[in-house]
Amino acid sequence: MYEYATGTRGDLTMALSLKGRSLLTLADYTPEEIRLLLDTAREYKRLKYAGIPHRIHEGKNIALLFEKTSTRTRTAFTVAANELGIAPEYLDKDDIQLGKKETVEDTAKVLGHMFDGIEFRGFSHQTVQELAQHAGVPVWNGLTDTFHPTQILADFLTVEEHIGPLHGKKFVFVGDGRNNMANSLMIGAAKMGLDFRILAPESLHPDPKLVALAQSFAADSRAKITITSDFDEALAGADIVYTDVWVSMGEEDKFAERIALLKPYQVNAELLKRTGNPAVKFMHCLPAFHDALTITGKQIQQEYGLDAMEVTDEVFRSSASIVFDQAENRMHTIKAVIALTL
């Protein structure tokens, strides 16, 4: 039940096993394998709500490596591991010597001899690739500057729970079209057959090479990929409007530049109305600058006169918003990734 499922592609029926696989980007996974992860996550969620234990990996250990701080990724991996019977060990940037006193290769080999799996959340995507190359155990990308695959699994599970099957859904990402969320959503949408649109200033459009890769996946899934700065083209009939912070970790010196570029792209009630869909849903991977109640929010308000950045508080707290269901589903989908790959 947890390791195998049946997938069909054309006339070929095959048993799927993800045992021993790393998850660095959804580009490495077939639509059938992504479907297996989503369906397994849904089953684990059912078991949790029913109070049925599922400690299928009792006695195993995983390492959680964090160069970047985290709320959802850290807690999701920790809770998921515990509920599978696994002991997680948290190691932050002060606990490990990645690339400083010890190479990534050496660190990977050491940890691979002690742990059954490794999660990495940090800056360079090359680091997680090197870990996977040398560890000899599954490595899971908890976020890099390029991709955030576990977030996309949570997003897709949430979409299915609220508005039904993924195929053909009109999914709009608004904001910085070059960031790891835009990249990852585009690849996931191309794999799973969505009508995916990025609405961003031209200077923040995604890497053309990544767009070409997504288009190659879309040819198989019948997905549509649109990159535009035209609000009407992007928003028409949207089922989901998704945004992310305008400034990612490590880019704090770019606040003024990004605010100037992206202020017209703020997700507010008027932007949602432009979809023409009264049932449109709003999504965000969090954290969100939707008010001035945080230290950073107050600084932005004082310096730039903004009470919110990428999304207004009105939209964030509205009935259209499903952001906290997304957050919960991080744990269920990460649990599926761990369970199926160990």
Give all domains of the chain, ordered by start, each with its CATH number: 4-147+330-341 (3.40.50.1370), 170-238+240-276+281-319 (3.40.50.1370)
Task: Report the catalytic residues.
Answer: 121, 148, 151, 244, 285, 330
Average pLDDT of the residues in 205-225: 98
Closest CA to 282 of 312, 252, 261: 312
The tens digit of pLDDT for each residue in 300-341 reads: 999 999 999 999 999 999 999 999 999 999 999 999 999 999
Is residue 3 scored above 70 in pLDDT? no
Provide Rg for the chain, Cα atoms: 20
Top-confidence residue, 186 or 252: 186
CA 141 – CA 222 distance, rounded (Å)? 27
The full DSSP string for 39-79 is HHHHHHHHHHHHT----TTTT-EEEEEESS--SHHHHHHHH
Predicted local confidence at residue 175, as pLDDT: 98
The tens digit of pLDDT for each residue in 94-148 reads: 888 787 789 999 999 999 999 999 999 999 999 999 999 999 999 999 999 999 9
In whole numbers, what is the pLDDT of the chain averaged over residues?
94
**Confidence band for 11, pLDDT divided at 50, 70 and 90:** very low
**Confidence band for 2, pLDDT divided at 50, 70 and 90:** very low
Top-confidence residue, 99 or 238: 238
Is residue 13 scored above 50 in pLDDT? no
Average pLDDT of the residues in 72-89: 98
Kindly report the backbone phi and psi dihedral angles of residue 153, in degrees, each rounded to the nearest multiple of 5, phi listed first. -60, -45
- Token pair in block for residue 6: 């049946």
CA 260 – CA 304 distance, rounded (Å)? 10
Predicted local confidence at residue 250, as pLDDT: 75
Predicted local confidence at residue 33, as pLDDT: 98
To the nearest 10°, report the CA torsion of 252, 256, 259, 262.
-90
Average pLDDT of the residues in 38-53: 98
Pairing relationship of beta strands 139-143 and 117-121 according to DSSP bridges: parallel
**Confidence band for 213, pLDDT divided at 50, 70 and 90:** very high
The tens digit of pLDDT for each residue in 257-284 reads: 999 999 999 999 999 999 999 999 999 9
Is residue 38 scored above 90 in pLDDT? yes
CA 195 – CA 171 distance, rounded (Å)? 6
Predicted local confidence at residue 15, as pLDDT: 60
Q: Which helix (H) or strand (E) holds 324?
A: helix 323-341
Predicted local confidence at residue 24, as pLDDT: 98
Average pLDDT of the residues in 54-63: 98
Predicted local confidence at residue 96, as pLDDT: 84
Average pLDDT of the residues in 209-215: 98
**Token pair 């849903």 in the structure block, residue:** 281
